[in-house]
Amino acid sequence: MKIICIGRNYAKHIEELNSAKPTEPVIFLKPDSAILPKKIPFFIPPFANSIHYEVEVLIKINKVGKYIDPQFSHKYYNEIGLGIDFTDREKQSELKIKGLPWEKAKAFDGSAVVGAFFPKENFNLEKLPFQLKINDTVVQDGNTAAMLWKIDELIAHVSQYFTLKKGDLIFTGTPAGVGKVSENDILTGILDGKQAFEIKIK
């Protein structure tokens, strides 16, 4: 399986990082080794000084697809979830300045939190609320209605470049409110009122 991540898909997040608004989805990949094992804390890597949380709605692909038309994208997933794209913000800024790939900042071991998945028919995917809490305080409060590119558009776009396979995950981008994690923080992800994950920072 592969993890396909979408960057800069929420306008307010683009603004908070002083990034340029893209004309098409920004795509980067994480290896399967980036997935944080279930019931394991996230350990801040020794090479990082500023690890940021980025909560995101996740899509789990359920069959092989290539060159998918947006009107048929809905047939390629039946579950949605919530996760975190952990980011070494200092390293990412350094790589951006140099025009280099982001993988050292985005794809290190444990950088992808994958929470519980739920049947998509239980939700309104066009207006899906989600939150990240740190120590019971809401730090990110997002809604898919604010996406620049909607879920079905993302699936179609990604499939132009990568064959999608059963089990692949798409991280659909993060809303505003990203910030630094600290040791002993408890991070809880809420998808439309349902808890999708809870992890501790070490």
Domain spans of the chain, in order of start: 3-200
Question: How many angstroms separate the CA atoms of 127 and 99, rounded?
Answer: 35
Question: How many angstroms separate the CA atoms of 133 and 42, rounded?
Answer: 15
As averages over each run of 10 residues, the pLDDT of the chain (202 residues) reads 94 78 92 96 97 98 98 98 98 95 97 98 97 98 96 98 98 96 98 98 98
Q: Give the rounded percent of residues in the chain with a pLDDT score beyond 70.
A: 100
The pTM of the full predicted model, rounded to 2 decimals, is 0.95
| Range 3-200 classified under CATH 3.40.50.720 | no
